[in-house]
Homo-oligomer: A and B are copies of this chain.
Amino acid sequence: MANLIGSEVLQAFSTYATIVVLKMLLMAPLTGYTRFTRKAFANPEDTAHGKTPEDKKKMLRADPDVERVRRCHQNDLENIIPFVIIGLLYALTGPDLSTALLHFRVFVGSRFCHTVAYVFTLPQPSRGASWMVGLISTLSMAYRVLSTVLVL
């Protein structure tokens, strides 16, 4: 056990996986913040601070800024979780530390760029390119996993 986490590649994986999952978790408070500043909620029980019933009803709406943050969060779920799964299996195949660090750093960096590009509406292809860079890192690790341990 102590041995397992003693592997430097697994330590590096743990570090980067934790950082990028924390980044993903922060999207929820960001959604909440955008909901409060835009006064746009999904649940009737969240509009209790409205003064009149009409006020409360008006707050039950979809706001473009809220939807943007939610799409960014969804994209994180669709990409960061596959990275963590494949990255863990990749770390267990015993790659060079420097190669592994390259994969982890490129992926995590690309996701921070993706979030900035999405939330601040930077012109394309900034968002598409950062998504693609992260995907290529994940695919490259998946190739290493399959070429090392293929048992069908």
Chain A residues engaging chain B, CB cutoff 8 angstroms: 1-5, 7-8, 10-12, 14-15, 17-19, 21-22, 24-25, 27-28, 42-46, 48, 67-68, 71, 73, 77-79, 81-82, 84-86, 89, 92-94, 121-124, 127, 131, 135, 138-139, 142, 145-146, 148-152
Contact = CB atoms under 8 A, between A and B. Distances in A.
Nearest to A91: B1
Contacts of A151: 8, 11-12, 14-15
A121 B48 CA distance: 13
Q: How many copies does the complex hold?
A: 3
| Majority secondary structure of chain A interface residues (helix, strand, loop or mixed) | helix
A92 B1 contact: yes
B89 A4 contact: no
Contacts of A123: 45, 48
Counting chain B CB atoms within 10 Å of each CB, which of A15, A24, A89 scores highest?
Answer: A89
Nearest to A48: B124
Counting chain B CB atoms within 10 Å of each CB, which of A4, A18, A145, A149 scores highest?
Answer: A18
